């Protein structure tokens, strides 16, 4: 009897330990996002390879790359700030994200975010720096707005989107004034405006010091709980402000050392400036490497180039400071640090009355054509490094294509939870670990802006000054289809093999081996959905049906074990049982229905779903219905219009039933008819499928 009791107690203790370890086993994650940092800004990626004197170094970033992995084909979702950040935060590419184009400061809907999913995984979460998607009454403005704003009126403030802590700028343009106090731009600690404490505080130093302070406090109070820090620097975006000269020497302008006792430090005495570099003369700490630099033409560097290089060097020093902190806290081996940028190098300026930056002096677009706002590689191919000493092979590189929306699935796998089914990404953990087979995800972008590609001599002649307008790109294998100034869906794609031709010099459209125009046109339509607020010239094009398939009636139903906080992405290799059913015949718990939907005639359809749980429906890779994020059981979740060609379309329904028996109903409105249930006769599976 005592033996059985002891055994039960040991099992109970093991279960408790397993539950505790499930959260603690995941690595700490620091995601560093720079603002307008180009691939050509990094020494190891470009500057080191330039001939002559007209270059600058990034020794700490170079070392970071040597200690981790370079993702040489990692793409941002769009070549501008807001759209990229919204896709990153929600795990949805720009064909599904609720925020697209230049919708600065618009509300981020209350859906699953990196903050909320990591919090569910047991992580402490902090967002530090630029947010720019808080919503509310504030609109983009060049005028100071302190005093007539309140973060409590911002419906998608970071603290309302899954983060335990926030320190930074909620509004997009506020972050472009690198001295918040000087620019009279509000910076918040949570919901509190702390700008008056920030005299002479330079943004890169301030955000680094606050991130260090938050990590130190968290590790001290909760050493077993992993943390997720979303650290968004505002550099090197214009205005081209540089640090104070408080620590300027002949070799550097950054405080010596780093980590716990060196580098930039947080000071609780608010009246004295909040950080240890808040002294001296503001905007006067030009980095010694470039302060008196002479260009290849024998002339001094222009002021905009010296300022830009100084801003990048400050980021370089800040990274080393943070990494030293991880060593000092003895958490370096269990912390993954991602370093990347939101879009390509800037070619603009004039903000805060500080200069206009021209990227062609230092070629900070690197070996690519294009810059910020471009759909060419220089606008969307990001400098990206990942370091995790105990896991990622030092000095490794991967040319596997990936995009921002993949980080949600990646972080979910690392933290031991399934990614939400509404997210578009795939986990890149196999790439990072160098083990297993990497699934190829979708790399897709759509973006519209009234602008032109810079007229730089380094770019292909046909590309200089080219109009942007409506733009779109997608990868099929290693081939990128891209088109700009789109007028209708029949406009042709230019086709480039970006693995072998990163500068996009040779258009392979129509060449043997390259995907056809029809394949690219079908791929983009099958990957996205209409956003009524952001009209596209291809919105009304019919999503092509599949070529003829051998089918028989029914759907495949796969059941999965486990408890889930949201409708999960479901791996078909790990289901507990599988069967063929006549239609939407469901069971209890988590399940997936897959097959084909036969569309009887071409035209615009509408769909509705009702469930006693939650569900996510996709046609092809297009997100048809999200009945998960804010879905109320028993209500109707609607799709909005979707234009379909008659024929077979792949259907996938991930369903999390709340009760048994489960109830799942899918209706459609065929063109010219009323809304009605989809007959079972319209569902098919591939002929020859066996249970």
Q: What is the pLDDT of residues 524-570, one digit of tens each?
A: 999 999 999 999 999 999 999 999 889 999 999 999 999 999 999 99
**pLDDT at residue 269, rounded to an integer:** 79
CB 51 within 8 A of CB 305: no
pLDDT at site 144: 52
Residue 52 or residue 89, greater confidence: 89
Neighbours of 576 (CB within 10 A): 12
Per-residue pLDDT at 647: 97
> Is 513 a domain residue?
no
Residue 465, domain member (yes or no): no
Q: Tell which wins on pLDDT, 203 or 691.
A: 203
Residue partners of 535: CB distance under 8 A and separation at least 6: none
Strands 74-75 and 402-403: parallel
Reference 28, options 468, 437, 488, 337; nearest CA is 337
Give the CA distances from residue 221 to residues 216, 218, 225, 226, 335, in Å, rounded to whole numbers and listed in that order: 9, 5, 9, 12, 17
Residues in the chain: 691
pLDDT at 608 over 70: yes
The 3-state DSSP class for residue 199 equals coil
Q: Which two tokens stand for residue 586?
A: 């469901």
Q: Is 201:181 a contact under the CB 8 Å cutoff?
A: yes
* Residue 16 confidence (pLDDT): 34
198 domain residue, yes or no: yes
Alpha-carbon gap, residue 503 to 486, rounded angstroms: 22
475 has a pLDDT exceeding 90: yes
Specify whether the CB–CB gap between 422 and 626 falls below 8 A: yes
**pLDDT for res 60:** 98
Beta strands in 260-359 (DSSP E): 335-341
Question: What beta strand segments (E) does 146-248 contain?
Answer: 165-169, 188-189, 192-193, 227-232
pLDDT at 572: 83
Asked whether residue 471 is assigned to any structural domain, the reply reads no
* Domain interval for residue 405: 24-420
The pLDDT value given to residue 453: 97
Domains identified in the chain, total number: 2
Average pLDDT, the chain: 93
Token pair listed for 635: 């209500």
Tell me if residue 347 falls in helix, strand or coil: coil
Which of residues 400, 420, 440 is at a domain's end? 420
User: What pLDDT does residue 18 have?
Assistant: 34
Q: Give the separation between CA 617 and CA 614, rounded to whole angstroms.
A: 10
- pLDDT tens per residue across span 427-458: 999 999 999 999 999 999 999 999 999 999 99
In a domain, 467, yes or no: no
Split at pLDDT 50, 70, 90, the class of 690 is low
Per-residue pLDDT, 530: 95
Would you say 424 and 405 are in contact if contact means Cβ atoms under 8 Å apart?
Answer: yes
pLDDT band at 141 (very low <50, low <70, confident <90, very high): low
Q: Is the pLDDT of residue 662 over 90?
A: no
The most distant pair of C-alpha atoms in the chain lies apart, rounded to whole Å, by: 91
For residue 442 the two structure tokens come to 């979708």
Instruction: Quickly state the pLDDT bin for 373 (edges 50, 70, 90).
Output: very high
Strand partners, 619: 622, 651
pLDDT value for 25: 81
pLDDT of residue 89 exceeding 60? yes
Q: Are residues 414 and 559 in the same domain?
A: no
Domain assignment present for residue 483? The answer is no
**Residues 69, 215: one domain?**
yes
Instruction: Using the predicted structure, report yes or no on whether residue 196 has a pLDDT greater than 50.
Output: yes
Q: Are residues 561 and 415 in the same domain?
A: no
Supply the pLDDT for residue 477. Answer: 96
pLDDT at 666 over 60: yes
7: Cβ contacts below 8 Å, ≥ 6 apart: none
pLDDT (0 to 100) of residue 352: 73
From 420, 435, 467, the end of a domain falls on 420
Q: Quick one: pLDDT at residue 151? A: 82
In a domain, 311, yes or no: yes
For the cut 60, the answer to whether the pLDDT of residue 508 exceeds it is yes
- CATH code of the domain covering residue 294: 3.40.720.10
Where does a domain end: 392, 420, 448?
Answer: 420
Residue 354 resides in a domain: yes
pLDDT in tens, 317-362: 999 999 999 999 999 999 999 999 999 998 877 677 788 899 999 9
Pairing of strands 396-398, 69-71: parallel
Please report the pLDDT score of residue 145 as a whole number. 63
C-alpha distances out from residue 568 to 201, 438, 560, Å: 43, 19, 10
Locate 71 and state its tokens: 């993702």
Type and span of the H or E element at 71: strand 69-71
Residues 410 and 556 in one domain: no
Quick one: pLDDT at residue 142? 53
């Amino acid at each position: 009897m005592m033996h059985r009791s002891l055994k039960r107690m040991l099992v109970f203790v093991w279960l408790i330990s397993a539950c505790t370890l499930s959260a603690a086993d995941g690595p700490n994650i620091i995601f560093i996002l720079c603002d307008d940092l180009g691939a050509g800004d990094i020494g190891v990626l470009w500057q080191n390879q330039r001939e002559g004197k007209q270059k600058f170094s990034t020794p700490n970033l170079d070392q970071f790359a040597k200690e981790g992995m370079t993702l040489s084909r990692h793409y941002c979702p769009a070549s501008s700030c807001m759209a990229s950040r919204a896709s990153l935060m929600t795990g949805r590419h720009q064909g599904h994200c609720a925020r697209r184009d230049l919708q600065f400061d618009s509300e981020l809907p209350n859906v699953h975010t990196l903050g909320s999913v990591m919090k569910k995984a047991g992580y402490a979460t902090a967002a530090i720096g630029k947010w720019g998607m808080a919503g509310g009454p504030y609109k983009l403005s060049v005028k100071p707005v302190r005093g007539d704003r309140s973060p409590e009126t911002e419906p998608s403030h970071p603290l309302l989107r899954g983060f335990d802590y926030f320190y930074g700028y909620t509004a997009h343009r506020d972050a472009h004034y690198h001295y918040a106090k000087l620019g009279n731009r509000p910076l918040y600690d949570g919901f509190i405006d702390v700008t008056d404490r920030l005299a002479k505080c330079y943004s890169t130093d301030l955000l680094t010091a606050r991130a260090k302070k938050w990590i130190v406090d968290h590790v001290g109070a909760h050493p077993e709980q992993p943390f997720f820090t979303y650290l968004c620097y505002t550099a090197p975006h214009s205005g081209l402000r540089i640090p104070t000269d408080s620590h300027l020497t002949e070799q550097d302008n950054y405080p010596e050392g780093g980590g716990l006792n060196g580098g930039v430090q947080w000071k609780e005495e608010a009246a004295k400036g909040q950080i240890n570099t808040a002294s001296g003369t503001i905007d006067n700490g030009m980095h010694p490497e470039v302060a008196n630099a002479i260009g290849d033409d024998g002339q001094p560097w222009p002021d905009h180039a010296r300022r830009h290089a100084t801003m990048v060097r400050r980021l370089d020093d800040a990274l080393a400071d943070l990494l030293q902190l991880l060593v000092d806290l003895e958490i370096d081996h269990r912390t993954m640090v991602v370093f990347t940028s939101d879009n390509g190098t800037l070619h603009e300026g004039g903000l805060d009355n500080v200069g206009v930056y021209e990227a062609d002096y230092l070629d900070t677009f690197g070996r690519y054509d294009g810059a910020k706002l471009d759909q060419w590689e220089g606008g969307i191919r990001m400098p990206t490094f990942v370091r995790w000493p105990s896991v990622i092979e030092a000095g490794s590189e991967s040319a596997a294509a990936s995009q921002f929306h993949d980080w949600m699935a990646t972080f979910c796998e690392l933290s031991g939870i399934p990614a939400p089914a509404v997210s578009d990404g795939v986990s890149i953990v196999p790439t990072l670990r160098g083990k297993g087979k990497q699934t190829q995800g979708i790399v897709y972008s759509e973006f519209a802006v009234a602008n032109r590609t810079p007229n730089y001599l380094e770019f292909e002649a046909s590309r200089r000054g080219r109009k942007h307008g409506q733009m779109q790109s997608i990868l099929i294998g290693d081939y990128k289809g891209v088109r700009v100034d789109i007028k209708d869906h029949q406009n042709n794609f230019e086709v480039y093999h970006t693995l072998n031709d990163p500068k996009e010099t040779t258009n392979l459209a129509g060449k043997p081996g390259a995907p056809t125009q029809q394949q690219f046109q079908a791929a983009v339509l099958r990957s996205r959905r209409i956003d009524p607020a952001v009209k596209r010239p291809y919105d009304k094009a019919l999503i092509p049906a599949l070529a003829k398939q051998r089918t028989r009636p029914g759907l495949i139903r796969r059941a999965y074990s486990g408890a889930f906080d949201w409708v999960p992405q479901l791996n078909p290799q790990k289901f507990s049982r599988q069967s063929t059913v006549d239609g939407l015949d469901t069971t209890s718990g988590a399940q997936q229905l897959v097959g084909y939907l036969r569309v009887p005639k071409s035209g615009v359809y509408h769909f509705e779903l009702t469930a006693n749980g939650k569900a996510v429906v996709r046609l092809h890779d297009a997100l048809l219905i999200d009945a998960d994020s804010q879905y109320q059981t028993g209500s109707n979740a609607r799709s909005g219009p979707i234009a379909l060609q008659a024929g077979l379309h792949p259907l996938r329904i991930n369903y999390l039933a709340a009760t048994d028996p489960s109830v799942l109903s899918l209706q459609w409105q065929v063109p010219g008819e009323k809304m009605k249930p989809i007959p079972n006769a319209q569902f098919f599976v591939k002929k020859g499928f066996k249970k």
